[in-house]
Amino acid sequence: MGISITKETKRLKTMLLHWSIAHSSFYNMLKVPEHQVAGHLAIDGKLGPLVDDSGRFYKPLQGDGRGNKELAFYESFSSDTRVPDHIRKYFPVCYGSQLLEASNGSGLLHHLVLQDIVSSHRNPSIMDVKIGSRTWYPEASDNYIQKCLEKDRRTTTVSLGFRIAGLQLYGGKESGYWRPGRKEVQSFTVYNVRSILRRFVSSNSSIGNENSDCSFAPSIYGGSAGILEQLLELKAWFEDQTIYHFHSCSLLILFDKESVSKGSASVPEIKLIDFAHVVEGKGVIDHNFLGGLCSLIKFVSDVLSDSKESSIKDCVESEKPGICTDNGNCQ
């Protein structure tokens, strides 16, 4: 005996077909982020974020309530009038959430829809710096705290108040990108961190080259729109703000090295990312984040000072000494 198909069933099937076509067309535009340097990567069948060509970043909501907490933070932050406008620029724009096919093919999953920070950069050098000497949050389970403690002690998190979580350095058309693996990054010592911060703003940061000239430090770390001034602006806010405590958050630092090397204007950029473990500040300053931020500022300041001293020395030792300007360049 055949099964009769009602008009409603036909209508639903037609709607499903149309949705599937639109669904397929939409997902063909999604792709794995080319410049993701840390976090979960959507490769080898693993769940991770996706991007499109319109400048949006789709981050799958993490389990155990972490994803919902991050979404709740963005919703709260976007409407919080206590956050000044000049601070909002350091946070990605959030466009809400969207139900999408997961990158690992496991089915539909809610994704946080964010601004794709690197979409406006052609060949970006990027550094992901996790801020704070303690990455676990107060309400975490004992097992989670122990896991974080082991990693914090194994890296520079405890000793410096921050650690480099991932990076890529653009060396040029021939050498391409240098992107150390996760295990190598996690093994960075204080010496390695200082070396990476110098290499990040060097013209000779190609693969295998350990000698850093820091030639881009004055234009990237220094100046009125440089990384140091941006970090100091964030620091001034964290010295007063008691709204949030940012546990296990990162600062993403990036710039277009190719533009700088050609003498073109390239404004370096920093963004705060990863808010699954943000909690209410309850009127208390976030000393954990502030302390790590101050430590990073000290390291960046040292690189900038060293680059200026080196430029002055080069001018003095040259056969025709020039005039060293305030940004460390010789004329």
pLDDT tens digits along 236-252: 999 999 999 999 999 99
Q: What is the reported pLDDT for 148? A: 93
Place 114 in a pLDDT band, splitting at 50, 70 and 90.
very high
Pairwise CA distance, residues 163 & 258, whole Å? 26
Contacts of residue 304, Cβ cutoff 8 Å, sequence gap at least 6: 217, 218, 221, 222, 228
Cβ of 320: how many Cβ atoms within 10 Å?
A: 5
Q: What is the reported pLDDT for 123? A: 87
Enter the tokens of residue 73: 């933070």
Q: Rounded mean pLDDT of 118-125?
A: 88
Q: Which residues are paired to 245 by β-bridges?
A: 279
Place 320 in a pLDDT band, splitting at 50, 70 and 90.
very low
Q: Which 3 state secondary structure label does DSSP give 169?
A: strand
Q: What is the reported pLDDT for 265? A: 67
Q: Rounded mean pLDDT of 127-136?
A: 96
Q: What percent of the chain has pLDDT over 90?
A: 57
Pairwise CA distance, residues 224 & 135, whole Å? 31
Mean pLDDT is lowest, of 66-75, 128-137, 286-295, 304-313, for 304-313
Q: What is the reported pLDDT for 206? A: 52
Enter the tokens of residue 159: 């000793």
Pairwise CA distance, residues 5 & 18, whole Å? 19
pLDDT tens digits along 190-206: 999 999 999 999 987 55
Q: What is the reported pLDDT for 222? A: 93
Pairwise CA distance, residues 312 & 323, whole Å? 9
- Decide if pLDDT at 22 tops 60: no
| 319 compared with 21, residue with greater pLDDT | 319
Q: What is the reported pLDDT for 240? A: 97
Pairwise CA distance, residues 38 & 61, whole Å? 16
pLDDT tens digits along 144-189: 999 999 999 999 999 999 999 999 998 888 788 899 998 999 999 9
Q: What percent of the chain has pLDDT over 70?
A: 81
- Decide if pLDDT at 5 tops 50: no
Contacts of residue 326, Cβ cutoff 8 Å, sequence gap at least 6: none
